[in-house]
Amino acid sequence: MPTLTPEAKAVVDAFGTQPGVTAPQLANLRATLAGSPALIDEINTAVKDGHLKHIVPLTNPHAGGEYASTTQSMHLPLKMLDNPASGSYNTGEATYVLGHELQHGLNRTTTAQGIVDFSNELTAIAKSPQHDHDYTVPVGKFIANYRRDEAGAEISGWNAVAGAVSQEAAAHGKTATIEDVYKKNPGRMSNFVDVDSSSFPPKYTLKPNLEVKPDLSMEASAKNLEGMGKNFFDKPRGAPSGLGPSGNSDYPNYYGASAIGSAVKFERFYNPATPGKTAPEFSINMASLHLSAKQVAENGLNLGPNKDVMPYLDKSTTPSTPANFRDSSVTHTYSPTTPPVPHTPSLDQSTHPDNALYRQTLDAVHKVDAQHHRTPDQSSDNLAAALVVAARRDGLSQVNHVVLSDDKSRAFAVQGDLSSPFKQMAQVQTAQATQASVAQSSQAWQQQAAQEKPQAQAMPLQQDPSQTQKHAPTAH
């Protein structure tokens, strides 16, 4: 039977000196570790490799446990280690939590490399000459990095519980079963085991997207990691058993808030607002990443030193929907995407600052309509408005011509003579432009104008994995 190394024993003993820790709680921690060979092996390895230096009391009320990579410390809820009012202490919850959090420590180096890769991808997009700076892919990879980390931690939690159950069964001359593992901690093991209560006795079977060895141990295989990513990380959560300051977040939005905040900081540093220069568009497909603007805000979206709203295009819809990210690092509250604002005239109204350019562009669009033997309609108005936005974006002050590509998939606003080598052009996708209403393009024009105001910028901190790595706490 494995035992704690002297170094691991010293870390465990030091927990007993922490404020608020009682002698019975320390004794129950020791008993939990001794009851699972898998836990003994894991804590010995974590201490030996420098991933675990401290065990301290947990202060987060919305967590069942935490691992802090910056201090290599595991945070445990003291209540979990209390003796019950009657009966004996049940090690089921502590066994799972210890296995889960210790694995976060063992994953520390791999997870940190994912953060370095994320920073490099943010830099590449922020420095791109393209007008559309789409951060969907790197944000998705950032979330996936932590999805693998959490799935691996869950598998470790299973192995800790399965090891304890197997040791208990062997002491009585029996062989542990899936049912035994489930009953050791029904709340946690429900992510692994299906219970069919339609018959008596109930049937306990491993979920079909998972597999275990004959001794009930579970490998961190591709199948099992994906299975626990689905069963645990992707699972919807609500208050009070969720994550975040309000206890109402799921895992994707918990990590997504951190990723989006980093993307905004990089975008603003590499693209400071410059008078006369149109800033690139910040875009992201929130729906494809299973992100909610409301949950992201409630997790505390930190935009960095510049707290101004960050306009972005949400590519979850066609055409994309203009919206704003607002700093909520202090308030943890969500502001509506389209808050009440002073009325701004539409591009097709005479009081709009760019109505003259809109009228000029509309005349050019009508000429294209005539060339193709079609009657001007709402699509013509929509196209003209979208071309005005594109023209201002690309620095045009006039639109002397509108032309279509050979396949009509793109429309071009042209300033100058069509045959001149000095002409200036701006383009839009014809289908999207004709579907976007004049009101939508007017809103995009307004946001584009707001982006052009000077803003003081601050350099994003170098992504030091030891300082930036943030693990979600284990959900209740």
| Domain edge (last residue) among 233, 262, 286 | 233
pLDDT classification of 458: cutoffs 50, 70, 90: very low
Mean per-residue pLDDT over the chain, rounded: 91
| Residue 473: inside a domain | no
| Residue 345: inside a domain | no
Measure Cα distances from 235 to 143, 249, 296, 338 in Å.
14, 10, 16, 29
Q: Are residues 298 and 362 in the same domain?
A: no
**Residue corresponding to tokens 């007008």:** 131
d(CA 405, CA 438): 22
Question: Could you count the other beta carbons within 10 Å of the beta carbon of residue 183?
Answer: 14
Mean pLDDT of 255-279: 92
Q: Are residues 207 and 276 in the same domain?
A: no
d(CA 249, CA 194): 25
| Residue 468: inside a domain | no
**E-assigned strand segments in 163-219:** 193-196, 203-206
pLDDT classification of 473: cutoffs 50, 70, 90: low
Min mean pLDDT across 190-204, 216-230, 335-349, 352-366 is at 335-349
**196 SS3 class:** strand
| Residue 11: inside a domain | yes
User: Which sign does the torsion angle of CA 464, 136, 241, 89 carry?
Assistant: negative
Question: Could you count the other beta carbons within 10 Å of the beta carbon of residue 317?
Answer: 11
Q: Are residues 25 and 166 in the same domain?
A: yes
| Residue 156: inside a domain | yes
pLDDT at position 460 over 80: no
User: Which sign does the torsion angle of CA 276, 282, 283, 286 carry?
Assistant: negative
pLDDT at position 208 over 80: yes
Q: What is the pLDDT of residues 371-422, one digit of tens each?
A: 999 999 999 999 999 999 999 999 999 999 999 999 999 999 999 998 888 8
| Residue 475: inside a domain | no
Mean pLDDT of 276-298: 93
**468 SS3 class:** helix
pLDDT at site 471: 61
H/E element holding 348?
Answer: none
**Residue corresponding to tokens 């987060």:** 60
Q: Residue 75: phi, psi to the nearest 5?
A: -105, 120
| Residue 263: inside a domain | yes
| Residue 23: inside a domain | yes
Q: What is the pLDDT of residues 289-313, one digit of tens each?
A: 999 999 999 999 999 999 999 999 9
Which residue type sits at 78? Answer: L
- Domain range enclosing 82: 6-233
> Exposed/middle/buried for 123, CB within 10 Å: 0-12, 13-18, 19+?
middle
Q: Are residues 282 and 389 in the same domain?
A: no
pLDDT at site 246: 84
Q: Are residues 333 and 377 in the same domain?
A: no
Mean pLDDT of 160-174: 96
d(CA 441, CA 415): 20
pLDDT at site 351: 87
**Which structure tokens are listed for 417?**
């003579």
Q: Are residues 293 and 216 in the same domain?
A: no
**Which structure tokens are listed for 161?**
């519980």
Burial readout 287-299 (b: 16 or more C-beta within 10 A, e: otherwise) = eebbbbbbbbbbb
pTM of the model: 0.71
Q: What is the pLDDT of residues 13-63, one digit of tens each?
A: 999 999 999 999 999 999 999 999 999 999 999 999 999 999 999 998 878
Give me the residues paired with residue 196 across strands: 203
Q: What is the pLDDT of residues 105-143, one digit of tens each?
A: 999 999 999 999 999 999 999 999 999 999 999 999 999
Q: Are residues 74 and 27 in the same domain?
A: yes
Q: What is the DSSP letter of 264?
A: H
